[in-house]
Structure 1
Amino acid sequence: MTVAVAATDGMLPFEFSLACEVFGDDAANLPDPWYRLVLCGPGPVRLGRFLVEPEQETHHLARADMVIVPGWADLDREPPAALVAAVCAAHARGARVVSLCTGAFVLASAGLLNGRRATTHWAHAGELAARYPAVMVEPDVLYVDSGSVLTSAGKAAAMDLCLHVVRLDHGARVANTIARRLVVPPQRDGGQAQFVMTPLPEPGNHPLAELIPWAMERLDQPLSVEDLARRAGMSSRHLARHFQAMTGTTPLRWLLTQRIRRAQELLETTDDTIDVIAASTGMGTATTLRRHFQRTVGVPPDAYRRTFRIAPGAGR
């Protein structure tokens, strides 16, 4: 299988290097044949501080079996037309198209995400949703596999998606072999939440400026969307529009996410029981917390706590 990695000025070097590391030529103890990696771009390109010389022109992306688009750094600038056209042509031929981090903006510009679930780095999910309203953006997941089009969140989640692709093509044993070589977790499901805080609006003069801190101080209380709307002095529908614009999600989803994030923090930093944490985060009962935590994070609270309670000296 030919894997073509797009290389053009303005891409993020970490995601680019990550794709080359996973799908590259270091195939010791791996299946034969392995992927054939090729770099495609318009000539020597600068990725951060590095100068990369692609082996083939950008339009050769269209000939690959799988196209990988690393993170796109300058979101204020439209991606090159040649890159967008090549990605479209590859998809039309039946290639698998994968974006890492903000590479999703390239796929969205190409129209490949219209009507599809997709994700990107949480800090840019709201912008992706606003700029491309036909895309069903999921800001909290690690990656989304829509079959022929796959998207990931940033950095570590990009690695998760690459290992997921290897697992699809060669099975869990091979994916685990690569994970061990790179010293990363062998598998994190795509639906698992990004282990970061959901972005909050910047402090300042906006409709949610007073509401957000007010709600954050009362996560232990049974707040509803109606409570938030009443506090903000607006209708629930009006509140929903502001939340979508400012956070990239709905008020109810935002509120649940903040409760889960608070629970994560307590699991990481305290010895509180699940019942106590459930009460502290407004979940009410341990059963409710476990259900929502499992659905949102992808693992039970107890398993999450063990992950972040690695014994000193065990390595991370």
Structure 2
Amino acid sequence: MTFSAVSPDEIAQPKPELRIGFLLMNHFTLMQVAGLVESLRFAADESFSSRQIFCQWEWMTCDNQPVTASCGLPVSPTAPLDFNQHWDYLVLAGGLLEETRNPPAWLLDAVREIHARNIPIITLCSGAFIVGNAGLLDGKRCAIHFTTRDEFRQRFPKAIPVIDKTYIKDGGIISCPGGTAIDLAADLIRKHCGEMRAEKGLQYLLVDNGKSRSTKKATGEAATLLYDNPAVRKVIDFMRHHLDSPLPLSEVAEFSALTVRQLNQLFIKNTGYTAAVYWRRMRLEHARKLMSDTDSSIHAIATTCGFSDASHLVDWFRKQYGETPGSFRKRRRDVEKLVKP
């Protein structure tokens, strides 16, 4: 397997729907990185063309020099390390513990800043030790490999290690302890690029359909693995069933038997957002999906997603995604033209 940069001529100009930065630590575990990026590759373009259209990714290292995977494969970075990039996710690809037990202070500062910017951080293998050292796992569940459980507990006594999950999302950190990371990749693609592209990757990677359905149920349904707090899961499920109803937050709090202040504190701790912001982001994601999958008018979508009118949706859509619904739809059409034979 060869990791190489895609030439500028091969990269489509429209904005991709999923952009991931990979920070490869020396002696990183190849299998997880390969499973994640190969899934992205199949979702990024039609057939086997492998152009980075719907998805884009960059390989980076701490010193902008080549690193060596734990199996001995040398890998060169395709982009300089720049934490100011606007990724949808930053992957900390760890491997041998010697490389992640005591990360440098500048890296810990950068990871904290990324987290403060609400960019989700994905840890692969021992990458969890980096965010643990940054103090971002206190009170949070973290999926780790069973061989590192004792040391992890000793180093991070305030974290909650879990050894029987393929991945866990808690408080803006997505931890994946081992395996191929294909199920994690499928859920990310499903969220950002749609069900068809997620299934395409699973099919091309010869993942059994029955297994993929059970994986989806285990990892993607009703945020079961996303947030460990039952009250948060209950409220998120309530929000999901009321996307078209702009209810006052006081009614949501009443449903959860909490005060508005308690509800917001609970959501900030578990999701990084207040309850109102989290609910609005859910409604915006649903609106974007409807814009992608239907020909419904912006006014109709606004009503379906609980916005007062089309202008209200347009304003929040621009703030969230940096473009208007109209430009988003045009970009989608432009991308579709690029991938047609």
* TM-score of the superposed pair, with normalisation by structure 1: 0.54
Does 1:22 find its partner at 2:39? yes
Q: Which amino acid aligns with 1:144?
A: I
Task: Identify if the C-alpha distance between structure 1 residues 130 and 91 changes in structure 2 by more than 3 Å, giving closer, same or farther.
Answer: same
Q: Distance in 2 between matches of 1:176 and 1:166?
A: 9
4+ runs deviating over 4 angstroms: 30-33
Residue 147 and residue 71 in structure 1: after superposition, are their counterparts in 2 closer, same or farther (change >3 A)? same
Aligned match of 2:257: none
Aligned: 1:44 with 2:99:
no
SS at match of 1:107: helix
User: Which residue of the partner structure matches residue 140 of structure 1?
Assistant: 164
> Whole-Å Cα distance in 1 between the matches of residues 36 and 143 of structure 2?
18
Q: Indicate yes or no: 2:87 matched with 1:64.
A: yes
* Larger RCO (alpha carbons 8 Å, 6+ apart): 2
Counterpart CA distance in 1 for 2:183 and 2:165 is: 11
| Partner residue in 1 for 2:199 | 176
Q: What is the percent sequence identity of the aligned residues?
A: 24
Amino acid at match of 2:45: A
Gaps of 5+ in 2: 1-17, 226-341
Residue by residue, what CA displacement relative to the aligned partner does 1:155-206 show, whole Å, maximum 9, x if unpaired?
Answer: 13x22222222222233332111111111242422479xxxxxxxxxxxxxx
Task: State the shift of 1:89 in Å.
Answer: 2.1
1:153 to 174, 177, 184: 177
* Count of residue pairs brought into register by the alignment: 191
| 1:35 aligned onto 2:55 | yes
Q: Tell me which residue corresponds to 2:119.
A: 95
For the aligned residue pairs, the C-alpha RMSD in angstroms reads 2.7
> How far is the alpha carbon of 1:150 from its aligned partner?
0.8
| 2:112 alignment partner, SS class | helix
- Cα contact 2:92–2:127 (8 A) shared by 1: yes
Instruction: From the superposition, tell whether residues 84 and 47 of structure 1 become closer, same or farther in structure 2 (CA, over 3 Å).
Output: farther
Return the alpha-carbon distance in structure 2 between the equivalents of residues 147 and 134 of structure 1.
Answer: 14
Partner letter of residue 57 of structure 2? Answer: L
Say whether the 8 Å CA contact 2:43–2:197 is kept in structure 1: no
Provide the rounded CA distance (Å) in 2 between the counterparts of 1:139 and 1:75.
21
Give ranges in structure 1 of 5+ residues lacking alignment.
Answer: 193-316
* Distance (whole Å) between structure 2 residues aligned to residue 9 and residue 137 of structure 1: 24
| Secondary structure of 2:58 counterpart | strand
User: Residue 128 of structure 1 corresponds to which residue in structure 2?
Assistant: 152
Q: CA 1:172–1:122 in structure 2 vs 1: closer, same or farther (change >3 Å)?
A: farther
Give the Cα separation in 2 of the matches to 1:23 and 1:120: 23
Higher helix share: 2
Q: In 1, Cα distance between the equivalents of 2:164 and 2:39?
A: 24
What is the CA–CA distance in structure 1 between the aligned matches of 2:194 and 2:41, rounded to whole Å?
A: 17
Report if aligned partners of 2:124, 2:176 keep a CA contact under 8 Å in 1.
yes
Alignment of 1:71-90 (within 5 A): 71-75=94-98, 77-90=101-114
Report the Cα offset of residue 25 of structure 1.
7.5
Q: Distance in 1 between matches of 2:116 and 2:199?
A: 32
1:164 aligns with 2:187: yes
- The aligned amino acid for 1:97 is I
